[in-house]
Amino acid sequence: MLRIPCPYCGVRDEPEFTFGGPSHVTRPPPDCDDATWTSYLFNRKNPADVHLERWQHVHGCGRWFNGARDTRTHEILTTYVMGHPPPAASDA
State the minimum distance, in angstroms, from the CB of residue 37 to another protein: 5
State the minimum distance, in angstroms, from the CB of residue 87 to another protein: 18
In the complex, which residues of this chain contact another protein (CB under 8 A)? 1-3, 13, 18, 20, 23, 27-28, 30, 32, 34, 37-38, 41, 54, 56, 58, 62-64, 73-74, 76, 82-83
Nearer to another protein, 21 or 47 (CB): 21
Residue 45, SS3 per DSSP: coil
- Residues with Cβ within 8 Å of 41's Cβ and at least 6 positions away in sequence, in order, are none
Calpha distance 16→58 (Å, rounded): 6
Beta strands in 35-75 (DSSP E): 50-56, 64-70
